[in-house]
Amino acid sequence: METITITNICCIGAGYVGGPTMAMIAAKCPHIQVNVVDMNEKRIAAWNSDELPVYEPGLMELVEGCRGKNLHFSTDVREAIRNANMIFVAVGTPTKTYGAGAGRAADLCYVESAARMIAEESTGPKIVVEKSTIPVRTAEAMRTILEANSPSGKFQVLSNPEFLAEGTAVEDMVAPDRILIGGEQTPEGLQAIEKLVSVYANWVPREKILTTNTWSSELSKLVANAFLAQRISSINSISALCEKTGANIHEVSRAIGHDSRIGPKFLKSSVGFGGSCFQKDILNLVYLCEHFGLPEVAAYWEQVIIMNDWQKSRFARKIVQNLFNTVSGKKIGILGFAFKKDTNDTRESAAIYVCRDLLLENAKLAIYDPKVEREQIIADLKYVGISDSLLLNNLEIVDDPYAALHQAHALAVMTEWDEFAHLDYEKIQESMFKPAFAFDGRNILPSEKLRSLGYSLFTIGS
Ligand SMILES: NC(=O)c1ccc[n+]([C@@H]2O[C@H](COP(=O)([O-])OP(=O)(O)OC[C@H]3O[C@@H](n4cnc5c(N)ncnc54)[C@H](O)[C@@H]3O)[C@@H](O)[C@H]2O)c1
């Protein structure tokens, strides 16, 4: 293993993680050739175009700076594997939808197929880096697959979970809180860890690069997401109590956030968390706890998801109740569909579930999001069971927020896009049915102004 000098990196999976992280490595390590490969031809074509498949502030500039020089996007997975001495695996690990562990365990079929391809194409030693979020002990399984299928190849499998947050991926990668690298605690394992450390050390201070054994690294990623999601569910649970008691969630957040042991971050209440990771990773943690005979621990973490689901359905119910217990035939303008601002990702977005509930109540929805494609919105709503006839008759997707709210009975903010705080709410109010209802699922609207304009405004937690 000590003979490997890292000159050529391949990354299998050109998604929200693989594309941006490899662009950053290419930008910071001009001496390394970086090949990002994916079997999805459309995605690769988009990475090679001016319309990247992932929207992130600053990403286009980052990619343009090294694409065609030391950063390449291709569908030739096998060739990229053959040429690489370090291979990142950044394929999806969605929640299983079938068989044992369905609805909880991570589906490792993409990880396994990547491992088998690596084994088939490898003749010499390679370092394989798990970038995907996977259950504890997956590295061990990967290593078994690699060695059983490639007798001539020698492999070290490292765990290097990704902590970037969508919407701020580029700034998170430029100055990460930490880089975590787990590996076997053997001389060969420690050498492999050092090789990966040396890649990140091109721009990350050494003291921020943490090294651990493989299992601690794998588990830490699940635990980090579970703790973050737990904070959101905790503050959201208190938002419901605030609404009943006259306390105000902003004031409570500020008051508790000043405690240095608690800290001010991640204490904003909202319609609920979304994104591809939090729910999936907690379910994965829950599954692991059940598997290892720890039902109390599993139940403890599962409650984070139950609270989040409740917050989403509570928001939809609040809209129906306030619109005099019926939204049938009423137009509701939906502002935002992405799971958070500054991304085009809609996976597990709260908007999907709130829109589903409203469509099932026969509301007429007009949805506006500045970055999400219309096909994506339709696919998401179909996935949660909305029929073709409801989509045809009750759904409008528009490219102008004012059109979404024209002659609407209510507006609902689902994503905290900055532009929603600065719309002309006077003009909007004039074009809406009265009373004009506003439901702010992100607490970003200028509330005093809206109230003075005569809106019936509902926020979360006050
Ligand atoms: N999205 C995030 O913010 C985030 C953050 C941290 C960690 N993660 C983790 O990173 C992993 C990837 O997440 P993502 O959001 O980038 O997923 P994604 O679905 O956007 O991308 C995964 C890509 O892998 C490709 N792929 C799957 N199997 C392949 C194979 N055998 N050969 C070639 N390509 C293959 C798919 O076509 C897809 O384009 C997941 O495990 C996720 O949990 C995601």
pLDDT tens readout for residues 6-19 = 999 999 999 999 99
Identify residue 128 by its one-letter amino acid code.
Answer: V
Ligand 1 centre distance from Cα of residue 109 (Å): 12
Catalytic member of 56, 130, 162, 184:
162
Active site residue 29: no
Residue range 304-324, pLDDT digits in tens: 999 999 999 999 999 999 999
Report the pLDDT averaged over residues 21-39: 98
Identify residue 44 by its one-letter amino acid code.
Answer: I
Cβ of residue 277 lying under 6 Å from some atom of ligand 1: yes
Catalytic member of 126, 131, 221, 340:
221
Tell which one of 24, 38, 178, 284 to mutate to probe ligand 1, the residue whose CB is within 8 A of the most ligand atoms: 38
Report the pLDDT averaged over residues 205-231: 98
Catalytic member of 242, 277, 289, 355:
277
Ligand 1 centre distance from Cα of residue 206 (Å): 27
Please state, in angstroms and as integers, the Cα–Cα distance from residue 1 to each residue in 5, 128, 307, following that order.
Answer: 9, 12, 48
pTM value is 0.95
Report the pLDDT averaged over residues 173-188: 97
Report the pLDDT averaged over residues 213-231: 97
1 pLDDT more than 70: no
Name residues whose C-beta falls within 8 Å of residue 109's C-beta, 6 or more positions apart in sequence.
none
What pLDDT score does 3 carry? Answer: 65
Ligand 1 centre distance from Cα of residue 262 (Å): 32
Tell which one of 10, 16, 55 to mutate to probe ligand 1, the residue whose CB is within 8 A of the most ligand atoms: 16
What is the C-alpha separation between 417 and 257, in angstroms, rounded? 24
Identify residue 355 by its one-letter amino acid code.
Answer: C
Report the pLDDT averaged over residues 363-375: 97
Length of the chain: 462
CA-106 nearest atom, ligand 1: 41
**Of 50, 53, 116, 56, nearest in space to 87 by CA:** 116
CA-13 nearest atom, ligand 1: 24
Cβ of residue 75 lying under 6 Å from some atom of ligand 1: no
Residue nearest to ligand 1 atom 10, measured at CA:
132
State the pairing for strand pair 331-335/209-213: unpaired
What is the C-alpha separation between 236 and 241, in angstroms, rounded? 9
Dihedrals φ, ψ of 385, to 5°? 95, 10
214-245 and 295-322 helices, crossing angle to 10°: 40
Q: How confident is the prediction for the chain on average, in pLDDT? A: 96
Helical (H) or strand (E) element with 412 = strand 410-413
Please state, in angstroms and as integers, the Cα–Cα distance from residue 114 to each residue in 42, 154, 203, following that order.
Answer: 19, 16, 28
Report the pLDDT averaged over residues 38-46: 98
Active site residue 69: no
CA dihedral 285, 291, 296, 299 (to 10 degrees): 50
Active site residue 382: no
Ligand 1 centre distance from Cα of residue 370 (Å): 24
Q: Which two tokens stand for residue 52?
A: 């990247």
Q: Which two tokens stand for residue 72?
A: 């390449």
**354-357 LR contacts (CB < 8 Å, sep 24+):** 354/271, 354/312, 354/315, 354/316, 354/319, 354/412, 354/414, 354/441, 355/381, 355/414, 356/381, 356/384, 356/385, 356/386, 357/313, 357/316, 357/317
Report the pLDDT averaged over residues 190-207: 98
CB 379 within 8 A of CB 348: no
Dihedrals φ, ψ of 364, to 5°? -100, 115
What is the C-alpha separation between 125 and 386, in angstroms, rounded? 50
